Every structure is written in C-alpha cells, then in structure tokens.
Amino acid sequence: MKGTEENAIIIRKASLSDFAQIVKIESLSFEKPYPPALILSLLYLHSDMFYVAVINNEVIGYVVGAKKGSGHGHIISIAVKPEWRRRGVGSKLMKALLDTFKERGLKAAVLEVAISNKEAIAFYKALGFEKVDLMKRYYPWGEDAYVMVKKL
C-alpha cells in the first residue's frame, strides 16, 4: 500500500486554486505561520518556483523558492501536512525545487531554519545541506536561525 500511495503523489506548480489548502498546511505546520496575504504574494511573485504535492486532488505539501542574488536559490518555505510527514513528500518537493534551481543555472541553495527545529535540520542535512552560519534573533519572536547551504 505504501508504494501505491507514494506513486500517486503528484508534484506540480502551485496555482491560485491551491491557495486555501496551502494556507491550511501552513497553519498546521508552524507555531507562527505566514499570514495568508504573504502566501498569496508568494504565489504571485514566485509562481515559477512554487510547487505543491497532490494526492487524490488534495494538496498535502508545498515548497516555494526564489532566485537570490548572484547564482543562489533561496528556499523560502516548505511544509507537509502532519499525517503525510516522513513519507517522502518533503523530499519530492525539495527535489522539484532544487532541479528548477539547477535548470536556471543556480550554483547553490540557501535556507534558514530555527535552531530549535531539530526535525527540519535533520531533514535538510539528509538532503545534503550544511550549516554555514548562525543568524542571531532572525525570527520576529527572537529565535536564532541556522543558515544552511547545499551546492548544486
């Protein structure tokens, strides 16, 4: 059954019709979620690098990135519905975004992650990201963040 489920997951570009489901995933995934207006802005501004994971017409995860500076892709956010975590959804989403970065000629992917988010840090390390810096009080609530980078 597990293989069947994973094979049925489709990764595609996000569309405006996915907005409500993306907002729901965001609220389920983060203690301090992005406001819906910001997610809507990301959908418009970065539609070429905004992907969703879909199964049976239900959005179960998303990732959004952007070209940053000279030759870097920035991973703005990634989230997967809690019941779909640890089933390869996040890895498939990241692969789609990282492949897009490579196709655009970008040489590295960069992201920030809260130092308390051990699960996400382990996920990023498993994908080949390395901690390269610490940003003090990066988040609005004062928490520090690691900057992690993966060469493409």
Total structural domains within the chain: 1
Q: How buried is residue 17: exposed, middle or buried, by Cβ count under 10 Å (0-12/13-18/19+)?
A: exposed
Residue 29 makes CB contacts below 8 A (sequence gap 6+) with 79, 80, 81, 82
Q: For 97-139, how does the pLDDT look when each residue is reduced to its tens digit (9 = 90+)?
A: 999 999 999 999 999 999 999 999 999 999 999 999 999 998 8
pLDDT given for residue 1 in this prediction: 38
In the chain, pLDDT over 70 holds for what percent of residues?
95
pLDDT given for residue 110 in this prediction: 96
pLDDT greater than 80 at residue 17: yes
Report the C-alpha gap between 124 and 91 in whole angstroms. 9
The CA-CA-CA angle for residues 10, 27, 96, to 5°, reads 30
**Residue 88 sits in a domain of what CATH number?**
3.40.630.30
Range of the domain at 20: 2-151
pLDDT greater than 70 at residue 18: yes
Cross-strand bridge partners of residue 72? 68, 108
Residue 147 makes CB contacts below 8 A (sequence gap 6+) with 110, 111, 112, 131, 132, 133, 134, 135
Residue burial 85-97, b: 16+ Cβ < 10 Å; e: rest: bebbbbebbbebb
